[in-house]
Structure formats: C-alpha cells, structure tokens
Amino acid sequence: MSDVIGKFTRNVPDWRPRVAPVRLDEATPAQLDALQVTPSNTKVSDYVLTLAHDVETLKVRSPLFNAIMYDSGGMSRAERELSALAASMVNRCIYCAAVHAARHAQLAKDTTVTDELFAKGEDADLSPRDRAIFDLAFALAKTPSEATPEQMQALRDAGLDDAEIFDLILSSALFGWANRLMHILGDPVRKGSA
C-alpha cells in the first residue's frame, strides 16, 4: 500500500493494525482494567487495543517497559533511547525507530546523532561512547546475538559502569520485544491515513 512508510524518519507516523483491534464496546472487564479505561479516559490507541487481545501480557508489559526506559539511576535516558533505536534499526521497525529517534533528539537537545544514523546506518560518525553503545545494542538485537567481548570492552573503555551496561542490555532487549509487536502486527503509515 502506497501510504506505508518504508524509510527511517524522526516524524512519528500513524500505525495501522493488520489485525482487528479489540473494540472498546466489546471489551471484557479484564481488558478494560488493563487498558485503564475510565469514564474520563476513553482514548486508547489502536496499538494498545490490538495488544488487549492478550490482556494478561499487556498488563505486565507496560510497567516493565516504563521501568526499563525511565527508572532513575544507571544509563541516561537519552542513551537508553539510542539503544532502543539500534535494535529498531536491526528489526527495521520504522515506527519504533521514529518514536525513539525523536525522543533521543529531544533528550539530547541535538539531532546530529539520529541524523547520522538515518543517513549512514551502521557507518554513522558517532562519539566513542555513542559508538560503543550503538554497536553492542545493534549486535545484541540479531538472532542469535552477535555481541562480542570486544564490544563489551569498548563500553568499559568508553567509561560505562556495570549498571549502565545492564541498562543498555535491557533497553536493546526490550526493543527485541516491542519491535516484534509493532512491526509485525501493523504498518507505519502517513499521518492521517491510519
């Protein structure tokens, strides 16, 4: 379909499901609970309504996602976004890549890193620390993981401590999960066409 976006971008597209999302007016009490639908909050995205088909997983996934991406301590939020972006590039999840490239640019107050990555892919010109983070996150996203001891050493040489490296692993791995939902269950489409 011509409105499906095939190139990486920081402009967050709409998302159009390939399966029928749960209809709010047919949702079970368990689904409404997981969706956190209240009389004053009835706006739920098609993505979340799609995931509501597996409500037990949805209910535990959202807090886990938030903890890995936003809890305090460890690796910076911008660097977690870079790790998420690396995985999304491996899996070519255009939607996730857009969301997390945009967040990286916002948190870093700089578009240089994501401009480079979208223009040159793996050959982007990055700072030694960003390069080390990107390389491990990218390699870990392959099946099976292609992460190497040399890449782990590069992270330590770039000054990352164990807690930061664990956060890097978690955020890349988390997008192994997110990409397999977002990229498989729907299409990124131009705003307004979903």
CA pair distance 152, 159, nearest whole angstrom: 11
The footprint of other proteins on residues 74-133 (CB under 8 A) is 74, 90-93
For other proteins, the closer of residues 68 and 105 by Cβ is 68
Task: By CB under 8 A, tell whether 20 contacts other proteins.
Answer: yes
For other proteins, the closer of residues 63 and 192 by Cβ is 63
Task: By CB under 8 A, tell whether 44 contacts other proteins.
Answer: no
Task: By CB under 8 A, tell whether 181 contacts other proteins.
Answer: yes
CA pair distance 82, 76, nearest whole angstrom: 10
Going 6 to 17 to 178 to 96, the CA torsion angle's sign is positive
For other proteins, the closer of residues 14 and 167 by Cβ is 167
Going 178 to 183 to 186 to 187, the CA torsion angle's sign is positive
Task: By CB under 8 A, tell whether 73 contacts other proteins.
Answer: yes
Contact with other proteins (CB under 8 A) among 127, 153, 157, 191: 153
Interacting residues toward other proteins by CB under 8 A: 18-20, 50-51, 53-57, 59-61, 63-64, 67-68, 71, 73-74, 90-93, 140-141, 143-145, 147-149, 152-153, 156, 162-163, 165-170, 172-174, 176-181, 183-185, 187
